[in-house]
Amino acid sequence: MADTFDVVIIGSGPGGYVTAIRSAQLGLKTAIVEREALGGICLNWGCIPTKALLKSGEIYEQLDHLGDYGLSVEKRGFDFAKVIARSRKVAGQLNAGVAFLMKKHKVEVIEGTARFEKGSMAPKVVVALKAGGSREVQAKHVILATGARARTLPAAGLEPDGERVWTYREALVPKAAPKSLIVIGSGAIGIEFASFFRALGSDVTVIEALPRILPVEDEEVSKAAHKAFEKRGLKFRVPANVKRLTKTKSGVAVEVEAGGKTETLEADVAIVAVGIVGNVEDMGLEALGVKIERTHVVVDSHGATGVPGLYAIGDVAGPPWLAHKASHEGVHCIEHVAGLGPTNIESPIPGCTYSTPQIASVGLTEAQAKEQGREPKVGRFPFRVNGKAIAAGETEGFVKTVFDGETGALIGAHMIGAEVTEMIQGFTLAMTLEATEAELQATVFPHPTLSEAMHEASLDAYGMVLHI
């Protein structure tokens, strides 16, 4: 006989474990199935450990500028093994935190790999347990939160081997920092690893097939980022297509085509960061009648798959592939399951890249607003004239706002500079509350702060900027 629950969640990343907590809060008997480690890729191999690495790189890079602050040190260097160990320790701490939360909320954790059994009145899941054997669990509602993994291109030689060709996973635990590195793909993952290894002195070249780096960002931000990264020593091939990667005696050789010409780049290691694919295999989804497009489960606005009682959230349900989007979708999905009423109001989802400088955005770019037939009012304010930025020695970058010219609604915001990933939530909240230029212009921002640039950019869109 199968063990029965109200809700079974497959996957314990930020989508899965947050959904489980909310499910338990709503009084539902809940179980979560995890085949690897609680916290999923984000806490163990993604969001959290990469930020620990980036912080080490940021601090090390700042040592070059100590003299600007009237400071000095006698010796400059790093212990790479300790840098990696700290990152893994941080990941372990968060993993233990999720385990505590599951216990606190009385969510049963089942360690193993899940597969659906066809022919049951309610979704039945058979779990191949880590400890051996199997266990059957059944629930009125099953939520897929299985996430995604790095896309590889074996035909072009872009298949990780753990030594010379890495995905984000291998890049988190190398034995040493490579002297030279090629990063294939300039999205957030590629740029963050490029920033980290460059900060520690690696010679880094980034290859991007599209016309500009960070292609999902506003074009002005992409251009500013390109310039800032080159200033820090990063090299770029944009736009350029990777034709073939081959392994050499000392590393890798990457054949690149750009502008009708072909060149071969050589490095110790290559990182493949060309997107992700949903984890939809080997669960019996097709046999259940689940619709899958381009490796992602097709769902409605509540996360429902069309198969009674089966839902999907987060990365496995498609872009944007962001941890906070997965958590948000999970809470909405379980509240819908619990019958709490219409909670499918679309909320703006911010995106962040934790490079140096940082990049953050929410809503429409200026170009997207124009493509929709709007007449946007655009404001900009540079950090070079912001008092706090000058005092902190962080004058690089700017804030850009996009307002609807007809209604005055804030429809987009884009930032590049120090700590902007901590500031974007202000614009996200404003958009969630459907704020217009009037509310933002009337908001009092504390002085001195970097956030004053947000206020000035809002003023600038309407010709009212104060400090330029």
Distance in angstroms (rounded) separating the CA atoms of residues 388 and 368 = 32
Question: Mean of the pLDDT values across residues 310-327?
Answer: 95
- Give all strands of the β-sheet with 261-267 in edge-to-edge order: 241-247, 252-258, 261-267
Reply yes or no on whether 302 is catalytic.
Answer: no
| In contact, 467 and 456? CB cutoff 8 Å | yes
Residue 181: per-residue pLDDT: 97
For residue 345, pLDDT beyond 70 = no
pLDDT in tens, 219-228: 999 999 999 9
Determine the Cα–Cα distance for residues 247 and 267; give it in Å rounded to an integer.
Answer: 10
Interhelix angle for 188-199 vs 219-231, to 10°?
20
pLDDT digits over 68-101, tens only? 999 888 888 999 999 999 999 999 999 999 999 9
* Per-residue model confidence (pLDDT) at position 344: 56
Residue pLDDT, tens place only, 23-44: 999 999 999 999 999 999 999 9
Name, in order, each residue with C-beta under 8 angstroms of 455's C-beta and a sequence gap of 6 or more. Answer: 440, 441, 443, 445
The first and second tokens of residue 203, run together, are 């010679």
- Could you tell me which of 259, 243, 242, 165 has the C-alpha nearest to residue 206? 242
> Of 332, 447, 455, 467, which is the active-site residue?
447
The pairing of strands 351-353 and 134-144 is: unpaired
